[in-house]
């Protein structure tokens, strides 16, 4: 054997950097590394790891790095920060078309999650990771950054036994505020946990969203009943399966309940309106370790003179205030504030300013 060994290194993509962080900080427990072929197979077909735990989306490391089983690969973030290392236990080829069909429900390259795995390619490196550091984030996020261990400790310090988590990748509008407060009525605390990893083009930038969450917390939520954190994962846009992934992650962060809306983690028209709720019929929530809370589409009703849903409002849709995302973006781009019934004025002001900066 030669006295000199080739030092292998790999700069992770932005998406893989997010996966490394979620594995390293404990948010993706029970994963301890990037998944192998047996995991990939069972996750795609059964939504379980090779070891039998619920897991709905493969977390694999696609790479064409020339390496072999037993090699140790130094890993850096997409920005070049040294993070740790991967011990290669397997190199395998995944069937990306099959993954697309089974996990995302479509092979259409127009789907951003499908397009991402097609671009990454089939060859994958699998094995455990060792983390020396986590990726860097902007100061606005780091002020709110909690690892799963830290969030569980924060809940315990407040005496919270029943904690409901809310996942979002958008600013919180009146409908979101309504359902989070409805959930808070029956729990001890609310964990607002916005995703700050990679999203698709056109989504509101994460730093702008953070300012929106903070102004809402200051003015409209009881300070002792809510914690704002950040979720450094990427978006897969896998709809129903991603709802389960988000629930598992929030279980790891210490939540006992998880809000699932009408189109959780969806994109376009790829999923049915309530598919993200129906998929929980396929899992044992006791084994999953977190209880989903299902909410219907909420809106302002002029007749009810407040927020409501199809479960609580008897009036025709003509009385309902609903704006599409496209319409809201158009209004913001024109410097127009969406109606009070749709968005708090403070949130609208932040968004209008952000659109002006663009």
Q: Known catalytic residues?
A: 169-170
Nearest-CA neighbor of 117 among 32, 40, 205?
Answer: 40
Secondary structure letter of residue 101 according to DSSP: I
CB-based burial of residue 188 (10 Å sphere; 0-12 exposed, 13-18 middle, 19+ buried)?
middle
Report d(CA 191, CA 210) in Å as an integer: 14
Helix (H) or strand (E) run with residue 319 in it: none
Report d(CA 118, CA 22) in Å as an integer: 22
Tokens of 51: 């070891």
As a dihedral over the C-alpha atoms of residue 208, residue 273, residue 256, residue 248, rounded to 10 degrees, the angle is -80
Q: Collapsing DSSP states into helix, strand and coil, what is residue 293?
A: strand
As a dihedral over the C-alpha atoms of residue 168, residue 172, residue 177, residue 180, rounded to 10 degrees, the angle is 10
The answer, yes or no, to whether the previous bond of 30 is cis (omega within 30 of 0) is: yes
Helix (H) or strand (E) run with residue 91 in it: strand 90-93
Tokens of 155: 């809940």
């Amino acid at each position: 054997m030669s006295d000199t060994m080739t030092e292998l290194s790999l700069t992770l993509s932005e998406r893989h950097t997010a996966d490394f962080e979620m594995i390293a900080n404990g948010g993706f427990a029970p994963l301890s590394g990037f998944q192998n072929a047996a995991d990939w197979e069972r996750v795609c077909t059964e939504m379980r790891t090779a070891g039998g735990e619920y897991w709905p989306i493969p977390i694999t490391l696609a790479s064409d790095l020339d390496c072999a089983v037993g090699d140790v690969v130094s890993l850096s973030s997409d920005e070049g920060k040294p993070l740790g290392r991967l011990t290669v236990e397997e190199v395998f080829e995944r069937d990306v078309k099959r993954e697309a069909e089974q996990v995302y429900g479509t092979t259409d390259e127009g789907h951003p999650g499908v397009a991402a795995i097609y671009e990454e390619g089939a060859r994958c490196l699998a094995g455990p990771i060792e983390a020396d550091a986590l990726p860097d984030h902007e100061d606005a996020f780091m002020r709110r950054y909690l690892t799963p261990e830290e969030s569980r400790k924060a809940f315990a310090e407040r005496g919270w036994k029943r904690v409901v988590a809310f996942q979002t990748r958008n600013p919180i509008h009146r409908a979101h505020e309504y359902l989070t407060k409805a959930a808070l009525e029956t729990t001890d605390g609310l964990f607002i946990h916005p995703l700050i990893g990679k999203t698709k083009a056109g989504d509101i930038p994460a730093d702008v969203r953070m300012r929106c969450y903070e102004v809402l917390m200051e003015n409209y939520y009881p300070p002792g009943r809510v914690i704002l954190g950040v979720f450094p994962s990427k978006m897969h846009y896998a709809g129903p399966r991603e709802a389960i992934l988000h629930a598992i992650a929030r279980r790891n962060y210490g939540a006992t309940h998880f809000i699932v809306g009408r189109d959780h983690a969806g994109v376009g028209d790829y999923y049915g309106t309530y598919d993200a709720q129906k998929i929980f019929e396929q899992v044992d929530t006791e084994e999953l370790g977190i209880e989903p809370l299902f909410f219907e589409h909420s809106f302002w009703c002029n007749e009810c003179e407040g927020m409501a849903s199809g479960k609580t409002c008897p009036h025709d849709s003509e009385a309902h205030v609903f704006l599409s995302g496209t319409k809201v973006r158009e209004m913001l781009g024109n410097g127009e504030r969406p109606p009070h019934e749709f968005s708090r004025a403070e949130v609208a002001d932040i968004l209008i300013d952000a659109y002006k900066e663009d």
